[in-house]
Amino acid sequence: MAGESTFDVVSKVDKQEVANALNQAQKELVQRYDFKGVGAEVEFSGEKILMKANSEERVLAVLDVLQSKLIRRGISLKSLDTGEPYPSGKEFRLEASIKEGIEQDLAKKINKLIRDEGPKGVKSQIQGDELRVSSKSRDDLQSVMALLKDFDEADLQFVNFRS
């Protein structure tokens, strides 16, 4: 084995699956008896997901419905960045956004984790919103993948595995 093997660590979310989960959540809110008359809504508002209801408890219940639909569609809740409920007129609102890409400080944490706990011959470098990991040994790369599977702060995927 002469060349180096590489793979990229990314954090991506299928936008169509998010839209499908949102549509399913909207349908459930309309159909469920406990959401009748509380003004419960969930919708896209630009890049954010906006949830509304007439009380803080109800808006958190709307969030719970949305989270269950996202999980059912295979989207990790690590990708959902949720704010705090806030009053707006007669209703409570809650904004959430879908995180994509690996932010710079998070990429540095992952880089440090690979350096500290990964095999010795493994190199990693930040490339925009992804991380390229390379090594002469494919086994070392697979042990890095196993190490990163337990990383809690982001939903990570491994793409472009080349040898």
pLDDT tens by residue, 81-117: 898 999 988 899 999 998 888 888 888 888 888 888 8
- The per-residue pLDDT for 92 is 92
Q: How confident is the model at residue 137 (pLDDT cuts 50, 70, 90)?
A: confident
Q: Tell me the whole-structure pTM to 2 decimals.
A: 0.80
Give, in order, the Cα–Cα distances in Å from 38 to each of 19, 58, 128: 23, 7, 44
Neighbours of 19 (CB within 10 A): 12
pLDDT tens by residue, 37-90: 888 889 988 789 999 999 899 999 999 999 999 999 988 888 888 989 999 888
Using an 8 Å Cβ cutoff, are 8 and 159 in contact? yes
Q: Helix or strand or coil: residue 43?
A: strand
Multiple choice CATH, 15-98, 3.40.80.10, 3.10.620.30, 3.30.110.30, 3.30.70.990: 3.30.70.990
Q: How confident is the model at residue 135 (pLDDT cuts 50, 70, 90)?
A: confident
Top-level class of domain 5-12+102-162: alpha beta
